[in-house]
Chains A and B, each alone.
Chain A
Amino acid sequence: MARLIRTEKEVEGRYEEVWLVVDEDALDQWPAGPREVVGRPATRVTGPLRARGEARYTADLRLPGMLHATVLRSPHAHARVNRVDLSRALAAPGVRAAIGPGEAHVLVDEVGFQGEAVVAVAADSYAEARAALELVDVDWELLDPLLDPDDAVRRGQVVTEPSRYERGDVDAALAQADVVVEAEYRTQTVLHNSLETHQAVCEWRGDSLDVHISTQFIWGIRDEVASKLGLPPDQVRVVCEFMGGGFGAKNGAGDYTFIAAELARRTGRPVRCMLTRREENVASGNRNATIQRLTAGARSDGTLVALAGEFVNATGWSGWPAPTDGPMKTLYDCENVRTVLSCAKINTPPMQAFRAPGYVEGTFGLECLLDEVAAKLDIDPLELRRLNYAHEADERPFSSKNLMECYRRAEPHWRRRDEVRARSEGPWKRGVGLASQVWYGGGGPPSYAWVRVGSDGRATVVTAMQDIGTGTATAMTQIAAEELGLPIDRVGLVLGDSARGPYASISAGSSTTPSMGPAVRSAAADAARQIVGIAAQRYDKEERILSLEGGRIVSADGGSWPLEEVVGLLEDAQILGKGARGPNPAGMQVLTFGVQVAEVAVDVETGEVRVERVAAIHDVGRVVNPLGASSQVEGGIIQGIGHTLSEERLLDPETGIVLTQTLDAYRLPTIADTPEIVAELLDIPDEHLTNLGSKGLGEPPIVPTAAAIANAIRDATGADVRSLPITREEMLRALRDAHEREGRPEKVGARTA
């Protein structure tokens, strides 16, 4: 039965208190370990369609009469639009409509970053729409851009008021510490660069709007579009069956959706608005750069007595405060912690969530700082982390935490250090580093699923969720198959359309599996109960002795019948099960944990860094699909390697213009940059969390990678790299610093090769 509760809802580390209607979650968890289907490797259910080029992405949609929109984006980081003349563009061949500032709310007459949308054109062909943009006359008045985040914070130009946190007395603790380490860490701006660029196709049907969009949140798009256009939500239908990557940048509707909707309204035809790769690199969001001024105090026995951090996020023209301060507050048992997080409002493209926003950046700073403390105290870095293990959270107990077990499983990888170092040869120095991971990933209600069983003995899961490439469609299919006692090939899944299924979770914050999985299981259980009820009547048995196993109805007293035999009685009737996600455990923190051990080789003459091996051990509760899960871990680490070594959005420091707009300038990792990766998941169900015990895995694997690599570099060379990306230039700078420090070991962070 549905229940109204007041509870906290968490998305990517942000808690808000909300009223929530929740359904009971009455099913007991399955015992730990592999089941018939759940917990066993499954190839992805959409794999053949995707591999054969049959999957239809938003980019592949060709609606009859569809027009193509292009967008004039500001070439300036800060400017006022004094006048726009669309007349020449409107007269150009093929052009059907053109709109300027104010004609859609995303088109503005004062721009705060390069790439902000000003004018849009719809034409019969993409080439015509592109050509027409050249004919738009804009009178720009250039304004001075503010680009330095520290400067912005000093001037009070911030996106939100600085957030401050303190427990204990940091200053007193630092005064009594045996060692104090202070260091400044910097992380760069990185870009999601999903291979399918941001795009939408909008089509009006009377007063209703169909939005086909590459998105991570079908239902969020529906609400956002309805709200901005003043429509009842049910008049907006959102469709996304296949989606070409998001990584956090596709949680919202974006300017392209509203541009397509307005141009479609004006022309009475479907309109596609698709970002080019260059627009994608400027105007579709980023992981904002950070500056982290950190202090740690410890006793000589390794006890951390104080942690302090001043964090500045270079948020951009708008955005929200990614919790760069989060790891410092939660990862260690330290009585005295003080953080200040400021979010600079500067004339750069706005940030968007990017795979564990804030925690990737903050973990780099904190976990490098920990190794600098370990070096100064001459304590083993793994031992230092165990010494300061947070067994209990402050007010909020952990629903489950097996980080100590992750550390134990990391030992064989950590013990390779002597052997790895011994393989140093000539200018190539080798070393091993590690870093811990904490992140959210508990998901939450509401989320719903239906399960339909027909007379052919096949089941179909129906839910309007999206699979952004993480493999959640496969995991949901496995969960339904397990509960119904069916082989996976007798279960189908319909997703991706708000008009064809119930509300489903956002695919962000590592939440799809922990949010949707319990709903799918409860829908399948509802269908299974109905099947058992029918079977009990057909075979004259008591319901309590019947169960569904291996595609059969099995009676505890010996008999068994194929499922088709019972549901075959239905003819055209169907069994319809429905399920909902129950609440998260009240008052508990649901977090994911892990540790990664990286092995690197550094050429101390050229500054080249190669990552040779990464072992990752993560605790994310029950693992539904070990095959897909290992892919998630590998993908997260590879993105993390890009973040650590090669990726950086560069700005012209005077004008704020993005210099890296193409995929040759913005250096994504390639297959040749891929190290050996060992992925281990503990697979211990969280006994407090839902009927499934699963947490999310999308984000945890990228969290500790940068720090593990930087710590391995210190192990190999003695150099402290404190700024990402670790380019050759940065590596050589750190090596020079380390050399200059030689003989003066009392200096902060000192430990020489």
Chain B
Amino acid sequence: MLELKINGGSYEVEAPVGRTLVETLRDGLGLTGTKVACGEGHCGACTVLLDGVPVYSCITLVHTVGEREVTTIEGLREHPLVDSFVRADALQCGFCTPGQIVTASALVEASPEPSREEIRHAMVGNLCRCGAYPKIEEAILAWRG
């Protein structure tokens, strides 16, 4: 058993050797807002924050999380980025969207008025097959409403 700090709460989770963080979140705790699209660290759909830093939870072993605070989309539901994504129509099928918003939240925390270049740099690891990119850029530019 491991203790994890997630979205401000504390959780005891079973953690056999080799269990990834995203398996723990989705299958262990039912936090299915975090998606898995590739399962091998290539697409960004599973992005969560560890102490505010975006990581791919599908290639993060749960044993390596330690004392760090895990933030998932469930912990960011009241973040202004959620509204700005909806307002800008920055999602189509929406499967990558929680990961996009989690990554963007770290960007705007570090750089509250990001340039287009900064946005493209920060978001390049989050794939969107529907091609919502232009509006993702707009949503992040206008994240404060």
- List residues of chain A with CB under 8 Å of any chain B CB: 43-44, 46-48, 50-57, 59-60, 62, 192-197, 242-245, 247, 276-277, 468-471, 627-628, 630-632, 634-639, 662-664, 668-672, 674, 677
Contact = CB atoms under 8 A, between A and B. Distances in A.
A195 B131 contact: no
B98 to A, nearest CB: 4
Interface of B: 26-27, 30, 32-40, 42-43, 45, 72-74, 77, 82, 85-87, 89, 91-98, 101, 119-121, 123-124, 126-137
Contact of B137 (A635, A664, A671): A671
B43 A637 contact: no
B6 to A, nearest CB: 13
Given A50-B91, A62-B30, A662 B77 contact: no
A529 to B, nearest CB: 34
**Which 7 residue pairs across A and B have the least CB separation, nearest first?**
A53-B33, A469-B93, A50-B94, A638-B131, A244-B95, A635-B131, A53-B73
Contacts, number: 160
B77 to A, nearest CB: 5
B131 A663 contact: no
B77 A52 contact: yes
Contacts of B133: 634, 638, 669-671, 674
B42 A195 contact: no
21 contacts: A43-B86, A46-B94, A48-B82, A48-B86, A51-B86, A52-B73, A52-B77, A53-B74, A57-B95, A59-B32, A195-B96, A196-B37, A244-B37, A247-B129, A277-B42, A632-B92, A638-B131, A638-B133, A639-B129, A662-B40, A674-B134
A663 B42 CA distance: 6
Nearest to B38: A277
Contact of B92 (A469, A664, A672, A674): A469
Given A195-B96, A470-B92, A51 B85 contact: yes
A54 B85 CA distance: 15
Contacts of A53: 32-34, 72-74, 77, 97-98
Contact of A631 (B33, B43, B135): B135
B120 A672 contact: yes
A52 B75 CA distance: 9
A197 B92 contact: no
A51 B130 contact: no
B89 A43 contact: yes
A631 B138 CA distance: 12
Contacts of B36: 59
A536 B25 CA distance: 57
Contacts of A276: 39
A50 B97 contact: yes
Given A662-B40, A663-B43, A244 B131 contact: no
Contacts of A671: 119-120, 123-124, 126, 128, 133, 136-137
Contact of A197 (B37, B131, B137): B37
A663 B97 contact: no
Contacts of B86: 43-44, 47-48, 51
B43 to A, nearest CB: 5
Given A631-B135, A638-B131, A639-B131, A55 B35 contact: no
Contacts of B43: 195, 663
A628 B96 contact: no
A709 to B, nearest CB: 15
Nearest to A42: B89
A55 B86 CA distance: 14
Contacts of B77: 52-54
A44 B42 CA distance: 28
A44 B89 contact: yes
A54 B76 CA distance: 12
B68 to A, nearest CB: 20
A178 B92 CA distance: 49
A663 B33 contact: no
B127 A636 contact: no
